[in-house]
Amino acid sequence: MGYEKQAFAKADVLQLLKEYGSPLYVYDEEVLRNRCRELRTLVKYPHFRVNYSAKANTNVELLKIIKDEGLDVDAMSPGEMYLEMKAGFTADRIMFIGNNVSRDELQYAVDRNIYISVDSLSQLALLGEINRGGQVCLRINPIIGAGHHEKVVTGGKKAKFGIAIEDLPKAQKIADSYDMTITGLNQHIGSLFLETEAYVAAAAQLLDIAATLPTVQVVDFGGGMGIPYRHEEETRLDLHKLGQELDDLIATWVEKHWPIMVRIEPGRYVVAECGIILGTVTAVKNNYNTYFVGCDIGFNTLIRPAMYDSYHEISVVPAQNREYQEYEQPVYLVGPICESGDILAHDRVLPVCREGDGLIVHDAGAYGFAMASNYNSRPLPAEVLIQKDGKIRIIRKAQSLKDL
């Protein structure tokens, strides 16, 4: 392997860092549009819509592109609904999927005519109080769970999300008592699957439940479609297979029952691969026979490795021309945060780094900036977009010390 294989094809990394500062989030419009199109055409069934799960990335300029590609959106909070409306999404293209939300937060959605999913009997009654006679979607806990880490599995008896299937008769009673109509069912089994089995089994189960509720007009199977973070070892999710399996399920159901709107709710798949983080090597050392490469990308900038032990491919862009040479042993790539867990990559084979070298963290478009923080009072980085025409545009300014 050499440096040339590791470069980010579309831009001059060192130049971008010079111009916009380090670290820096960089997005590629073309990749984003391609991912949207793949999902929009996932199934052939005509009453099918994709809700982009905006928690993965709420940059308004990216949301505008996603809207332009014909996707709808979900929201977890008034903040997300606000940003989505700023991007031009109308209320009928937004779904509020609350989890332990307050009366005021529900009211925010009711006031704007945004469709709401509740995920407990208690929240259903609360919504009934403020929106008597309205429509409601119920989030089911499908018991089936999946995910890349226990912290992102959202279906199962110990997951905090959703209404237990056995409580559906109680939910119907509560809805009736407020003259509310249950018009939708949604679920989300967890985040990041690369095989289709669990998702399709859970979808089949949701359709079975829908068949018992004649008022239901929409089912939302949830998100979780994964991407291969380990480029060499993992294979892509087979979208063709997933689409066919879902189409088969839906066709069989519709033949027996009634035409229904089908939705999915992917976040990561839409935005992960269009985004990278650029950073800079700030210090290098060998302590007690372990190499540490210090850089300016801490868990304030990307928390996934620290929180879930997630893997992201890393590339090094040398500041000066030099021959490619790897460290004789795997190294720790660490950030500037005052925590021992501030590790971007451990036991990683890397070329020998020098202060000032550029770094690329790949596949960082989902749950990257969205989960970034001001910990250690470090300003949030800028975000730039490489447009289809190749031009580069800033889509969020870096924070300054004053912003803190």
Ligand X SMILES: N[C@@H](CCCC[NH3+])C(=O)O
Binding site for ligand X (CB under 6 A): 55, 152, 154, 191, 304, 308, 367
Q: What is the DSSP string of 237-290?
A: P-HHHHHHHHHHHHHHHHHHS---EEEE--SHHHHGGGEEEEEEEEEEEEETTE
End-to-end CA distance of the chain: 42
Distance CA 163, CA 184 (A): 13
Binding of ligand PLP by 66 (CB under 6 A): no
The response to whether 308 counts as a known ligand-binding position is yes
Binding mask 298-337 for ligand PLP (x = CB under 6 A): ----------------------------------------
67 versus 268: smaller Cβ distance to ligand PLP:
268
Binding of ligand PLP by 368 (CB under 6 A): no
Distance CA 161, CA 265 (A): 15
Binding mask 169-188 for ligand PLP (x = CB under 6 A): -------------------x
Query: How many other CB atoms sit within 10 Å of the CB of residue 240?
Result: 10
267 versus 351: smaller Cβ distance to ligand PLP:
267
User: Nearest-CB residue to ligand X?
Assistant: 367
Task: Classify the C-alpha dihedral 222-96-119-166 as positive or negative.
Answer: negative
Q: How far is the CB of 206 from ligand X (least distance, A)?
A: 18
Stretch that binds ligand PLP, among 196-204, 205-213, 260-268, 299-307 (CB under 6 A): 260-268
The response to whether 155 counts as a known ligand-binding position is no
> Is 338 part of the annotated catalytic residue set?
yes
Binding of ligand PLP by 223 (CB under 6 A): yes
The response to whether 269 counts as a known ligand-binding position is no
Distance CA 237, CA 223 (A): 13
Q: How far is the CB of 96 from ligand PLP (least distance, A)?
A: 11
Distance CA 169, CA 21 (A): 56
Q: Which residues have a Cβ under 8 Å from the Cβ of 221 and sit 6 or more positions away? A: 186, 187, 199, 202, 203, 206, 246, 262, 263, 264, 265
Question: By the criterion CB under 6 A, which residues form the site for ligand PLP?
Answer: 53, 56, 74, 97, 152, 154, 188, 191-192, 222-225, 265-269
| Binding-site residues for substrate | 268, 304, 308, 339, 367
